């Protein structure tokens, strides 16, 4: 569709930009309507509008990221996700049986860039085997590691760290790209004493914790230097990168903020295939409709996308009918199979002053470090606390494998991740020096769900991440704690560690399980709530081309389509889904 204002493009509103008010938009009909400006949505918007003949409108419920200091200074990450705030959807989970029936916060960003504007910035791809499994279950070799590597490279812009240090021996340039869009870098400031402890551990325990030059090579096992979506000492989000100045000025790219999509409208069924006439959204208490002449693309994330589908009558027919929602397309997998990783912490007090604690404990020092960041975007505020990641497998002889098939995608895929760094776990110990580890079960077998509580599309959905409901996940969490303690049994830690802040090592299994239930939480990495499956599968929500099964002109491109949790944090996997998804759309409409 060629839109007249594109040709006439003279008035100031004719140039693409980020709009706050629907009345400023140059029209509500476009070739593509993209719902959600998160990791995936902004990639799709950017790539589609490379073709000047395509116009795209992105509808984002949240607020602007512009000038939000906590979303710019990497170290301030925790401020953004602490408690209800204007950058959050403020969700809580349903009571989690695996967490002593606690309902816990479930963080989702309500801002441009989605969760890439407030996430931990850890850049991890997962194993080659993870993606080869995607290709296997979908019967589409296009989802294999080898096929996706060019898309990782389209996304990634490998960048010099903020301190310009010599990075030789800290990564493998052959598996990175300097020509992508989203910045990735090694840490921009150093903790030499602690870093030496970690590297020495890889020498002392080379069997259990070998050094891995680059955990993003497709073979992550071992201990490697952390890589983060940070460039020039600042967070690189999908908003700062894919909607950067050189892109957002495109006359065919439009982004509307404060626009919460409620549902898809005007379903029409022809020969059993549903087409939707538009997208309903709310702004300032009024409802509007946006129309797509080519495709509607849902990129609202693993919580938002299934919620919109269910509110539109796309989901399990019986469940929707019970809520008073007219069933349009009976797809029982919508919102099911939610897969989320549990995480647990451990920390130790240490005999070293070279940790981040003094910065958090001493306001004068904090201001000095902040002033350094302000002046030159260098110093300790250019990254988070972690310096390395250890990726490890459960022992092959673990008794759990008598009962459970190994959920990892293959023998080179880790079950457990341990992020290691300095600083107390809470960040608010009044005195002392600490190191903290975060342990993640990468391959959970628990499954949860996203469902609706009512037929009001503005009610928050019911979020059940299913945290720690299976024996495997509880076993792997206990093992992750044991592995973390094993790491610091390397001789090099002897005079360095004073004591664990809570001694988890010699606890009974029951006591450890109780500790885990009280202290673990979901990692905010949910996937699979609108999962991709083979074209002929009896389950699933989208086909391998990401078109919704049984619908036409409706695609899903975000973390919800991921068919199996990768052994990773989920932004890089989502970016790669979006890069390939955009290519699939371009292929269709070329």
Ligand X SMILES: *[C@@H]1O[C@H](CO)[C@@H](O)[C@H](O)[C@H]1NC(C)=O
Ligand Y SMILES: Cc1cc2nc3c(=O)[nH]c(=O)nc-3n(C[C@H](O)[C@H](O)[C@H](O)COP(=O)(O)OP(=O)(O)OC[C@H]3O[C@@H](n4cnc5c(N)ncnc54)[C@H](O)[C@@H]3O)c2cc1C
Residues that bind ligand X (CB under 6 A): 51, 53, 69, 84-86, 88-90, 97, 100-101, 110, 332-333, 336-337, 351, 362, 364-365, 367-368, 370-371, 374, 399-400, 402-403, 471, 495, 498, 503, 505-506, 514-515, 518, 539
Q: Binding partner of residue 109 among ligand Y, ligand X, none, CB under 5 to 8 Å per kind?
A: ligand Y
Structure tokens that stand for 463 in this block:
């979020």
Contacts of 326 (CB under 8 A, 6+ apart): 313, 320
Q: Does 216 interact with ligand Y (rule: CB under 6 A)?
A: no
Q: Does the annotation list 121 as a binding residue?
A: yes
Q: Does 461 interact with ligand Y (rule: CB under 6 A)?
A: no
Closer of 221 and 541 to ligand X (Cβ): 541
Distance of alpha carbon 243 from alpha carbon 222, whole angstroms: 35
Q: Does 187 interact with ligand Y (rule: CB under 6 A)?
A: no
Distance of alpha carbon 13 from alpha carbon 31, whole angstroms: 19
Distance of alpha carbon 70 from alpha carbon 457, whole angstroms: 30
Q: Does 60 interact with ligand Y (rule: CB under 6 A)?
A: yes
Taking CB under 6 A as the binding criterion, the range among 54-62, 135-143, 340-348, 466-474 that sits at the site for ligand Y is 54-62
502-508 LR contacts (CB < 8 Å, sep 24+): 502/346, 504/346
- How does DSSP assign 30-99, residue by residue? EEEEEE--SHHHHHHHHHHTTSTT--EEEE-SSB--TT-GGGTSGGGHHHHHSSS-TTB--EEPPPBGGG
Strand 56-59 with 29-35, pairing: parallel
Q: Does the annotation list 432 as a binding residue?
A: no
Closer of 134 and 242 to ligand X (Cβ): 134
Q: Does 237 interact with ligand Y (rule: CB under 6 A)?
A: no
- How does DSSP assign 510-574, residue by residue? HHHHHHHHHH-EE-S--B-TT-B--TT-SS-SB-TT-BBTTEESEEE-SGGG-SS--SS-SHHHH
Q: Are 436 and 423 in contact (CB under 8 A)?
A: yes
- Contact pick of 28, 30, 38, 194 for ligand Y (by CB under 6 A): 38
Closer of 101 and 178 to ligand X (Cβ): 101
- Contact pick of 26, 74, 114, 161 for ligand Y (by CB under 6 A): 114
Q: Does the annotation list 362 as a binding residue?
A: no
| Minimum distance from residue 117 beta carbon to ligand Y (Å) | 8
Catalytic residues: 525, 569
Q: Binding partner of residue 121 among ligand Y, ligand X, none, CB under 5 to 8 Å per kind?
A: ligand Y
Q: Binding partner of residue 399 among ligand Y, ligand X, none, CB under 5 to 8 Å per kind?
A: ligand X
By CB under 6 A, the count of residues binding ligand Y is: 41
Q: Does 116 interact with ligand Y (rule: CB under 6 A)?
A: yes
x/- mask, ligand Y, residues 281-320, rule CB under 6 A, reads ------------------xxxx-x---x------------
Closer of 379 and 573 to ligand Y (Cβ): 573
Q: Binding partner of residue 461 among ligand X, ligand Y, none, CB under 5 to 8 Å per kind?
A: none
Distance of alpha carbon 408 from alpha carbon 389, whole angstroms: 18
Closer of 213 and 371 to ligand X (Cβ): 371
Residue 33: what are its φ and ψ, rounded to 5°? -110, 125
| Minimum distance from residue 358 beta carbon to ligand Y (Å) | 25
Q: Are 463 and 303 in contact (CB under 8 A)?
A: yes
| Minimum distance from residue 45 beta carbon to ligand Y (Å) | 11
Element (H, E) at 230: strand 230-231
- Contact pick of 44, 61, 369, 463 for ligand Y (by CB under 6 A): 61
Closer of 166 and 402 to ligand X (Cβ): 402
Q: Does the annotation list 120 as a binding residue?
A: yes
Q: Does 420 interact with ligand Y (rule: CB under 6 A)?
A: no
Q: Binding partner of residue 491 among ligand Y, ligand X, none, CB under 5 to 8 Å per kind?
A: none
Closer of 26 and 114 to ligand Y (Cβ): 114
Distance of alpha carbon 106 from alpha carbon 121, whole angstroms: 17
Q: Binding partner of residue 35 among ligand Y, ligand X, none, CB under 5 to 8 Å per kind?
A: ligand Y
Q: Does the annotation list 198 as a binding residue?
A: no
Distance of alpha carbon 518 from alpha carbon 497, whole angstroms: 25
Distance of alpha carbon 236 from alpha carbon 231, whole angstroms: 6
CB atoms within 10 A of CB 53: 11
258-261 LR contacts (CB < 8 Å, sep 24+): 258/20, 258/21, 258/60, 258/61, 258/62, 258/63, 258/283, 258/284, 259/22, 259/59, 259/60, 259/61, 259/283, 259/288, 260/61, 260/458, 261/35, 261/36, 261/59, 261/61, 261/300, 261/308
Chain positions 329 to 368 lying near ligand Y, rule: CB under 6 A, are none
Distance of alpha carbon 590 from alpha carbon 585, whole angstroms: 8
Q: Binding partner of residue 507 among ligand Y, ligand X, none, CB under 5 to 8 Å per kind?
A: none
Neighbour-count burial for 381-406, b at 16+ CB within 10 Å, e otherwise:
bbbbbbbbbbbbbbeeebebeeebeb
| Minimum distance from residue 123 beta carbon to ligand Y (Å) | 6
| Minimum distance from residue 242 beta carbon to ligand X (Å) | 19
Q: Does 465 interact with ligand Y (rule: CB under 6 A)?
A: no
In the complex, the residues that contact ligand Y under the rule CB under 6 A are 35-41, 59-62, 81, 107-110, 114-116, 118-122, 260-261, 299-302, 304, 308, 524-525, 558-559, 569-572, 574
**Which residues sit in the known binding site?**
119-122, 261
**Which residues sit in the known binding site for FAD?**
119-122, 261
């Amino acid at each position: 569709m060629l839109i007249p204002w594109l040709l006439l493009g003279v008035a100031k509103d004719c140039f693409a930009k980020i709009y706050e008010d629907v009345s400023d938009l140059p029209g509500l009909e476009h070739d593509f309507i993209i719902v959600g400006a998160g990791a995936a949505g902004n990639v799709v918007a950017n790539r589609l509008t490379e073709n000047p003949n395509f116009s795209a409108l992105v509808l984002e419920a949240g607020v602007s990221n512009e000038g939000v200091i906590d979303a710019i200074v990497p170290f301030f990450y925790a401020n953004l996700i602490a408690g209800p705030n204007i950058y959050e959807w403020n969700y809580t989970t349903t009571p989690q049986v695996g967490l002593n029936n606690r309902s816990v916060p479930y963080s989702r960003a309500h801002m441009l860039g989605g969760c890439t504007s407030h996430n931990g910035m850890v850049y991890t791809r997962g194993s080659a085997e993870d993606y080869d499994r995607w290709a296997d279950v979908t019967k589409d070799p296009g989802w294999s590691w080898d096929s996706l590597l060019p898309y990782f490279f389209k996304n990634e812009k490998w960048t010099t760290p903020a301190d310009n240090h010599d990075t030789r021996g800290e990564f493998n340039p052959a598996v990175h790209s300097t020509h992508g869009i989203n910045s990735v870098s090694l840490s921009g400031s150093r903790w030499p004493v602690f870093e030496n402890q970690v590297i020495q551990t890889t020498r002392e325990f080379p069997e259990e914790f070998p050094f891995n030059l680059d955990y993003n090579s497709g073979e992550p096992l071992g201990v490697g230097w952390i890589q983060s979506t940070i460039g020039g000492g600042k967070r690189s989000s999908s908003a700062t990168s894919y909607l950067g100045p050189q892109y957002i000025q495109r006359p065919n790219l439009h982004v509307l903020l404060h626009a919460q999509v409620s549902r898809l409208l005007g379903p029409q069924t022809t020969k059993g295939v549903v087409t939707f006439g538009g997208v309903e959204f709310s702004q300032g208490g009024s409802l509007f409709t946006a129309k797509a002449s080519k495709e509607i693309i849902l990129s609202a994330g693993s919580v938002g996308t299934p919620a919109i589908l269910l509110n539109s009558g796309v989901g399990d027919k019986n469940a929707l009918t019970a809520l008073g929602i007219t069933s349009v397309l009976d797809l029982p997998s919508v919102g099911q199979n939610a897969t989320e990783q549990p995480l647990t912490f451990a920390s130790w007090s240490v005999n070293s002053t070279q940790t981040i604690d003094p910065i958090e404990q001493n306001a004068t020092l904090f201001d000095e470090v902040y002033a350094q960041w302000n002046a030159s975007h260098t110093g300790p505020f250019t990254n988070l606390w972690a310096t390395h990641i250890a990726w490890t497998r459960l022992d092959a002889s673990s008794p759990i494998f008598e009962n459970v098939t190994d959920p990892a995608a293959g023998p080179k895929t880790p079950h457990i991740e341990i992020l290691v760094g300095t600083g107390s776990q809470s960040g608010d110990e009044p005195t002392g020096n600490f190191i903290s580890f975060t342990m993640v079960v990468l391959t959970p077998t628990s499954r949860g769900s996203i469902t609706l509580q009512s037929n009001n599309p503005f009610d928050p959905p019911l979020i059940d991440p299913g945290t720690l409901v299976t024996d495997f996940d509880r076993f792997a969490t206990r093992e992750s704690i044991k592995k973390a303690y094993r790491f610091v049994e390397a001789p090099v830690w002897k005079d360095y560690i004073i004591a664990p802040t809570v001694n988890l090592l010699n606890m009974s299994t029951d006591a450890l399980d109780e500790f885990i239930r009280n202290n673990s939480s979901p990692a905010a990495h949910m996937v699979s709530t609108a999962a991709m499956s083979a074209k002929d599968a009896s389950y699933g929500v989208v086909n391998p081309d990401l078109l919704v099964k049984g619908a036409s002109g409706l695609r899903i491109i975000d973390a919800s389509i991921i068919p199996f949790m990768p052994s990773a944090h989920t932004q890089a996997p989502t970016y790669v889904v979006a890069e390939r998804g955009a290519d699939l759309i371009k292929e269709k409409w070329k």
